[in-house]
Amino acid sequence: MKLILKVIEGPYVGRDIYLNAGRTREVGRGDWSDFTQGVDRRMSRIHFVLNLNSGRCVLADMNSRNGTSVNGDPVENGSEIELCEGDEIEAGASVFVVHLEDEGAAGIDTVPESMFATLDNGFIADELTRSRLVGEFHKDDCYSSALLFQGSAEQVSPAALIQGLSRWYKFMFVADFNRLGGVPEELESAPFLMDSLAPHVARELSPRIIDPAECPAWNALVDESWGQDAMVTFFGNKDPDEFLAHLRKSLTNSPTRQGAGIAGYCWPSVLGQLLENSDDSVVGPILPNETAILIEDPDGDDVWQVFGHPDLEQQLRELGLNVSAPEAELSQPS
């Protein structure tokens, strides 16, 4: 049996929690929760725990301050309740709906055990198994010659988009694990972006560069990082060593003062503004031809943004995405 807990109301609407048999997941706003709801301030640090074992899915309230309810009935502090298909869980300002799947159910891939202590590798995204994605995108000009493409993360998940674009590009991630509650043990050897720093300083300040070939559960990493202003995905066709050198050079050097590091390039909230509003002298070294960059929209993590060049529009179309009407807002699913 496999649990899929979908967030249907609250700050993280559209996100899912996945739980394989024999596993436990802690849900709360604390950084050490397995599924962190940090923006939901009505949640406790560890609000409730899910356990899936022997064909039963059990929820336990962890003495949460504002309580947990299932189908409108409060769960007593510290007590447990068995969950069934379709149950709705209310915790803090969030509402979740329970879906239980038999192993090997149609349309659901069997997922290997997580390689991360703090990430769920029970990532199940139907989009990844489709030959074509379904959704819309909107195109805008940037101040430079780059183009900005935006789409709904609820229509097409960021991981599904990355998987689709891998038809044309290699990709790497720059991830700030200091914003994600710590680096998983399996990624401790991932290189620091700011390699000129002393190792003990880099551990505190520098994001790491993640090669998906060294991270089989990269899709889970993308899902957990989305909305945390902690990850940038870079697409290109360089060899790994060249890719690494390009990222270090373009993300840590100031365009106005030779050799002056700007760590802010590493985060979506800063990088997005720079790519959209700077001229080619700044954008060109970061986003040369035949490359693209995917980040979350700093104004809302329900929108993805891809910065790239004219070829990218045709690639998005070939994936099955349609251009939205110029006057329309990004289409959200009903």
Q: What pLDDT does 334 receive?
A: 43
Q: What pLDDT does 332 receive?
A: 46
196: pLDDT strictly greater than 90: no
115: pLDDT strictly greater than 50: no
- The pLDDT-based confidence of 12 (bands split at 50, 70, 90) is confident
Identify which has the larger pLDDT, 18 or 326. Answer: 18
Q: What pLDDT does 245 receive?
A: 79
Q: Which region holds residue 312: left if phi is over 0, alpha if psi is between -120 and 50, else beta?
A: alpha
Q: Strands (DSSP E) along the chain, which ranges?
A: 2-9, 16-20, 23-28, 35-36, 48-53, 56-61, 68-70, 73-75, 80-83, 88-91, 94-101, 135-141, 147-152, 170-175, 208-210, 231-236, 292-297, 300-308, 321-323
Q: Strands (DSSP E) along 184-286, which ranges?
A: 208-210, 231-236
Average pLDDT score over the chain = 79
Q: What pLDDT does 301 receive?
A: 67
Average pLDDT rounded to a whole number, residues 80-95: 93
Burial class (CB in 10 A: 0-12, 13-18, 19+), 124: middle
126: pLDDT strictly greater than 90: no
